[in-house]
Amino acid sequence: MKISLVTVAYNSAATIETTLESVAAQNYPELEYIVVDGGSSDATVEKVRQHPDLVAELISEPDRGIYDAMNKGVLRASGEIVGILNSDDFYLRPSVLKEVAAVFEADPSLDVVLGDVDFVADDDLAKPVRVYRAGRFRPWMFRFGLMPPHPAVFVRKSAYDRIGVYKLGYRIAADFDFLVRLLLIDGAKYQVANKHWVRMRTGGASTAGWKSNLISTREMLRSLRENKIFSSSPMLLLRLPIKFFRQVFL
């Protein structure tokens, strides 16, 4: 089963080597690895070019943001399965892609497989500071702003062909909108793997504090309204104490 991985990057020289090494460690025989760089001014592209046997295609040009870069990679992907691994994320162990393929191969009707994400700090990549699990996710939870961890979501390319890619009108929540269209509107068949697959550094665009939460809440509500799903700002804001409880007590 051919898997296409897409890594998007912009001035990521400080972190992308860890990402590249984690993909190389997979040693997966049917891998297509696409790196989409937004025209970095640091050494990002040079670091990617140090892995010619790993990276099947490198695109380096200005883009309209992270979701535009993701779309470029997804549209070029030729694998049956597509995963997105950002340039400050990395796989937890060398067997991740084999585990992903095994889940899809066990049920050819699956469109989506959901894994778990560990969050780590820059000063200790081996010690999780919190965990983002997909295990209790159900599509109705989108109404409350709850979603599975996007960095550990693997999707059949045919599902992208069916529902489209990421909408560029969102600054933070295009992944939320995509998963709403995929899992709630389209009703794509999914399975939760109950396995930790990705480590993600804290401090990304969707985890950057109250301002980020305000923007994401507005964008989530817009997505749900555009998709004709009932929700409200108070319903979406309920996710914040839920997330806090999970982080502190679970």
> Tokens at residue 38, please?
């937004």
Q: What is the reported pLDDT for 13?
A: 98
Cα–Cα distances (Å) from 217 to 65, 99, 143, 153, 158, in that order, read 19, 33, 11, 21, 30
For the segment 179-202, the average pLDDT, to the nearest whole number, is 97
Kindly report, residue by residue over 13-65, the tens digit of the pLDDT.
Answer: 999 999 999 999 999 999 999 999 999 999 999 999 999 999 999 999 999 99
86 contacts: CB under 8 Å, gap ≥ 6? 7, 8, 9, 19, 66, 151, 200, 204
Residue 181 is given by DSSP the state I
Min mean pLDDT across 107-116, 125-134, 162-171, 210-219 is at 210-219
Asked whether residue 127 carries a pLDDT value surpassing 50, the answer given is yes
Ramachandran bin of 164, using left for φ above 0, alpha for ψ from -120 to 50, beta for the remaining angles = left
pLDDT band of residue 206 (cuts 50, 70, 90) is: very low
Domains of the chain by range and CATH? 3-249 (3.90.550.10)
- Looking at residue 30, its pLDDT comes to 97
Write down the pTM of the prediction. Answer: 0.93
Candidate from 108-112, 120-124, 139-143, 194-198 with smallest mean pLDDT: 120-124
